[in-house]
A and B are shown apart, each in its own frame.
Chain A
């Protein structure tokens, strides 16, 4: 079925829907990873976005029940060059078109994804509409323009859990905070869910943490009442600036707990510590970004997915720990006195290289040092 991607600047990219009739809008971004589309689709950080995969052949290995980063598909739509309908992989349980169609998420193929990527690189990320109503393209462009811009949009509250949950081997189990008691085990960790990727939970669990996921609206007071040993700030979608409540809560929590943040969590920490954030022209979305750990001077190839970046240039109490070697942007910092560390990229990978997994070990050691647990 013929379909079209209409961008807010009037540019049109024709293609074909592989998920039946479609209509969806969002910010159009590109991802340069050659593997890991299922993780991308289920990553809440992509909420509200139409994701264009730059690798042209997507769907080759199908989808499976294990490689999910949340309980559902999170992207607003998927844009590819060619979608494979008959996958081949020993773990595959379903094809990509079936997976998307079942969830009602649009998928479009036959798009010149390289032309689209270049367009976004040259003109910046922009809003777009995917539709099978291809006749009135002017109307589609109008619709694209009417989508709320990413900047200033509070998406994290939208994808965050509504109730606290305990992370278990089988995934999240909702709990009542009033009657909650920590199960036996390692250090107790409050994990702010701004749209967390499950692999963060899995890797924190590997470090022995007992994790309670909490909604983004949780206040510092609510956290304190639960008597955790440490706090973790997850990744999440969109602009950190509008998350004023979370920023305030984090500012307070920094005083009391060892704390770490990833991606949006890193940005929130940056803002809470007096820094500022700004939008990158077309963001970092891929699995091949070199980052240098300034402590060890080693380069790690990192998984990245962010449209905003932190500026802490005037914050003398913060120390830069990681830098992006491509564009020199900030990739990580720590507090000079307090047990607070954060990185902009994704040490949990999924998808992407596992070079940065040490971050979880580092956090575990920090907690041990601070709390003796």
Chain B
């Protein structure tokens, strides 16, 4: 069936900001879908609030709405654009839920918009726990014993029927939000009440625990003619009970016989048909009883998912692209397999390697949270590794994680060595379980015992055991025989070690040599990696897609290309502080290289990204970003240049060693990078340029730290180079706090210096992104932060252009930026952070690389900074490129950060110098107010236009709060305040303020008001430990009950301004193309 011609305009909903459970995989799938639809000649309308996505590049869709993804806004866009169809299955759970919401609102019917891919009924059938269970019963498939609860009475009734432990699964939520495992009635009530509150439909499922069962997933595709294929099977190393996003997973399934696998395949196909997913990709999760093979269905997602992104990268089959084409009417046999070209998409990929995905966690950023993995996802990123064996893939995966582990082996200092402690760790799933398994084996714990405590399948344990045994063998060999190159056993063993995925670094540690000497020994013995293809067909057909992985095998099937080529190093797994923004830059650089006719070679290990899509670059190496792995590729490909400035800190950290190894680096020199990063060298540079930075010092001991503290004076920002238990930067206001910091959080010694800076209170922070070519400098954008200095720039909202800084100060900031760019000899991108206090400009930090804000600035100004930076690195000059002429303006862009606090109960939401946001959104409008309002809305904060505001601010902020509250009062808000705040406001001419009790002052207190949903906005600022502690409950309640909250006075000011402006003007939707063309509507 050819494509549908009755459709002309198709709308796509993205997934919005990066949050836990919904990351750049939806940019990857959305981008593929957009390209696929455009290729077919459809006009495409896109909604996505995330500016750091490739899909929101204005060239991709015809109409790109960087607007909040929420039903009202989407309805407005539909009314304006009148698309023929809405494709809801490519924007994650957000896209699906929003589509369902607008459908239920009657908007689609009203404007005659057809849901393609999956309609309302299908979405409901798959997402509603009850309908799904009924559907499974219809086709004779088992689901765990379960009950649906819509209120607490239901919960208690089911709690008596289903044996504990009981799994709580809220319907229609993302990544298992609000779910958990209850071991008793008390647990159950606590988890269930939260789950009910978080579920879009107040519906939760209570389910018989299948903890300890094996977990599997299948990725399925179906077309209009009911042709179904399985793209990939995935087996979780972690047993049931750990969210699949937090599990270490392997593709293909390893421990199923064909009979069992086909039974699962048959079930997946039956589910697709029963649920009625008309076209596209879906994912089905299974649990298997390891005792007898009993199979139960856990859930299915009628959409492209994180697992399907993984399956695409694991097999080479572009699920999202094909899903988009199926949605417009094609069938699988009409679509070619891009990789083989001669075969069609109607087949099931087969692979001849092993793929492993390992999640990356950041518990250290959220002190107070247990490192405990359950059914609610907590990881912030993941890495994927490919090897010819599980062992090789596992070790490659571990070093790709970039958590200081060069593989499975030594250096697990943070993991206990004690048998009992290890067994406890194994019993309770956590982020360090793999190290615990390894250490337990070293302690002599048997595989049986490890299995019985961890339920990790014995097959995985034995694989790990082989790696552990190899470690012992290697160590012993080194001790007894030394590294005599003439000994043939050495070459054999070394080759075997490499086949087991051992890195040079690991071997160096075991043999007490330098990694460099291992490398040269290895090369002298002729042990070098081979590069093999990811080809969907296990070499049965010739493959054309240049997607490679390294392994230690005999066959050479890839040869380096000729012609000019440049290699781009990606950012590795997402983590807080390094995510999609950097991938965006890497992709842009690659696009630019291809436009210039230069071959682009991408190296990355993150399966969620666009950069690891096989058609982003001329060649893709899916490899760990370590010195060894990168240098291997460089030696193989011999690129003309290597770019390190786009992938964030990961490639930057490799810059110096790569340069020393003779790798041709292009862009800013590693020495210039060092000059900006080394405190002393940077100080001298600023002195030379007569620029100012906050007073600072570096302490090697506690005594020295105290001396510096006394000299500079409080408050101080403290930044350790070595961290205990995860605490990083902190701001201290007194000697007490200062001493406590060193006691509890940071180690100070000559090896672990602590950096001490004067903290500039109430300073305005400014971020600048600039391009430089050594001779000239282009200021990409000056962004004024909404939150004041002291809050991590990644966590602050910011506005471009600045809305309250005097023009001469902006000019001065630009001048200083240029001076530093030229002095450092920056070639490419640079980011500077400034603080302005009392009209003085201070330099906080300079990073001669792409920053997190590059995509935001590029989108806000229409100047593609990363692309231009690439051209500059290749030798072009700014004066010729003329970015000044590309710049578009006339509107305001606001960036807001998005936080994962709802994933980490008990963690305070107060912002500080430690970055904790996972993503960002952009609000665009012609004035600050509406732009800010949109950014808030996109970040999930629905600012009220009327209602009651609760205000509790610290003494410092009280005078500043006065005008804010006065304005709120004028706007007709009812004002509640804590006694102290109320008294101050009352005394200063606001008699209408009503005092309300704090939590410990009695009842009813502020929490009661929040829980009764009588408060529509919370303004709460704090300083000092005591008030932080006292008011934490308020912020937690606001978070839990989804009441918008502001924790800074500057934020409050912006909020009120936004409410004011929007009340008079309302919110309009406009696409990027309209802004860029200077249209208003």
Contact = CB atoms under 8 A, between A and B. Distances in A.
A34 B349 CA distance: 10
Contacts of B262: 349, 351-354
Given A90-B291, A114-B388, A114-B539, 12 more contacts: A30-B538, A34-B351, A56-B388, A88-B457, A88-B458, A89-B260, A112-B553, A115-B553, A288-B348, A288-B349, A298-B227, A351-B258
Interface string A255-298: 00000000000000000000000000000001111101000011
B225 A298 contact: yes
Contact of A34 (B226, B227, B252): B252
Interface in B292-324: 292-293
29 contacts: A13-B554, A30-B538, A30-B540, A32-B352, A57-B254, A57-B354, A61-B256, A84-B459, A88-B255, A88-B457, A90-B292, A91-B257, A91-B293, A112-B554, A112-B555, A114-B538, A117-B539, A117-B540, A121-B540, A287-B350, A288-B347, A290-B347, A298-B226, A299-B331, A326-B343, A326-B344, A352-B258, A353-B230, A353-B265
Interface in A207-254: none
Interface string A71-103: 000000000011010111111000000000000
A13 B554 CA distance: 9
B1073 interface: no
Contacts of A34: 233, 252, 350-351
A282 B331 CA distance: 29
B537 interface: yes
**Residue among B226, B255, B540, B554 with the most chain A CB within 10 A?**
B540
Contacts of A61: 255-257
Given A90-B290, A117-B352, A290-B347, A35 B258 contact: yes
B390 to A, nearest CB: 6
Interface string A46-75: 000000001111001100101100000000
A312 to B, nearest CB: 22
A117 B352 CA distance: 10
A33 interface: yes
Contacts of A349: 258, 262
Interface string B341-379: 011101111111110000000000000000000000000
A203 interface: no
A118 interface: yes
A353 B554 CA distance: 33
A114 B555 contact: yes
Q: Which 10 A-B pairs have the closest CB atoms?
A: A115-B555, A36-B258, A351-B258, A88-B459, A54-B538, A288-B348, A35-B258, A299-B227, A117-B539, A290-B346
B261 interface: yes
A193 interface: no
A112 B253 CA distance: 21
Interface of B: 225-227, 229-230, 233, 252-262, 265-266, 290-293, 331-333, 342-344, 346-354, 388-390, 457-459, 462, 532, 537-542, 553-555, 557
A297 B225 contact: yes
A325 B350 contact: no
Contacts of B253: 35
Interface of A: 13, 30, 32-36, 38-39, 54-57, 60-61, 64, 66-67, 81-82, 84, 86-91, 112-115, 117-118, 121, 286-290, 292, 297-299, 301, 325-326, 349-354
A349 B256 CA distance: 16
A81 B259 CA distance: 23
B257 A55 contact: no
B557 A118 contact: yes
A39 B262 CA distance: 13
Contacts of A88: 255, 457-459, 462
Nearest to A36: B258
A65 to B, nearest CB: 12
B389 A39 contact: no
A278 B260 CA distance: 35
Nearest to A13: B554
Contacts of B252: 34, 55
B350 A54 contact: yes
Contact of B258 (A13, A30, A67): A67
Contact of B350 (A89, A115, A288): A288
Contacts of B540: 30, 32, 54, 117, 121, 286
**Residue among B260, B262, B265, B343 with the most chain A CB within 10 A?**
B262
A301 B347 CA distance: 6
A324 to B, nearest CB: 10
A306 to B, nearest CB: 14
Given A57-B254, A91-B293, A298-B225, A33 B539 contact: no
Interface of B is mostly: loop
B539 A54 contact: yes
B448 to A, nearest CB: 12
Contacts of A54: 350, 352, 538-540
Nearest to B294: A90
B231 to A, nearest CB: 11
A81 B539 contact: no
Contacts of B390: 57
Contact of A64 (B257, B291, B352): B257
B290 A289 contact: no
Contacts of B261: 35
A38 B333 contact: no
B259 A67 contact: yes
Contacts of A55: 252, 350-352, 538
Contacts of A115: 553-555, 557
A286 B343 CA distance: 15
Contacts of A89: 255-257, 260
Contact of A57 (B233, B343, B389, B457): B389
Contacts of B293: 90-91
Given A84-B459, A297-B225, A326 B347 contact: yes
Contacts of A298: 225-227
Nearest to A66: B259
**Residue among A87, A121, A353 with the most chain B CB within 10 A?**
A353
A265 to B, nearest CB: 22
Contact of B354 (A56, A86, A289, A325): A56
A256 B259 CA distance: 37
Contacts of A84: 459
B258 A33 contact: yes
A32 to B, nearest CB: 5
Given A82-B389, A90-B290, A354-B266, A38 B257 contact: yes
Nearest to A282: B540
**Residue among B254, B292, B462 with the most chain A CB within 10 A?**
B254
**Residue among B259, B290, B389, B532 with the most chain A CB within 10 A?**
B259
B555 A33 contact: no
A327 to B, nearest CB: 8
Nearest to A289: B347
Nearest to A40: B258
A325 B351 contact: no
Contacts of A299: 225, 227, 331-333, 346
Contacts of B255: 60-61, 88-89
A88 B253 CA distance: 12
B460 to A, nearest CB: 8
A318 to B, nearest CB: 23
**Residue among A35, A36, A112, A325 with the most chain B CB within 10 A?**
A35
Contacts of A117: 352, 538-540
Given A54-B539, A61-B255, A114-B532, A86 B388 contact: no
B72 to A, nearest CB: 42
A38 B265 CA distance: 19
B344 A325 contact: yes
Given A115-B555, A117-B540, A301 B350 contact: no
A89 B462 CA distance: 13
Nearest to B289: A90
A250 B314 CA distance: 47
A39 B257 CA distance: 10
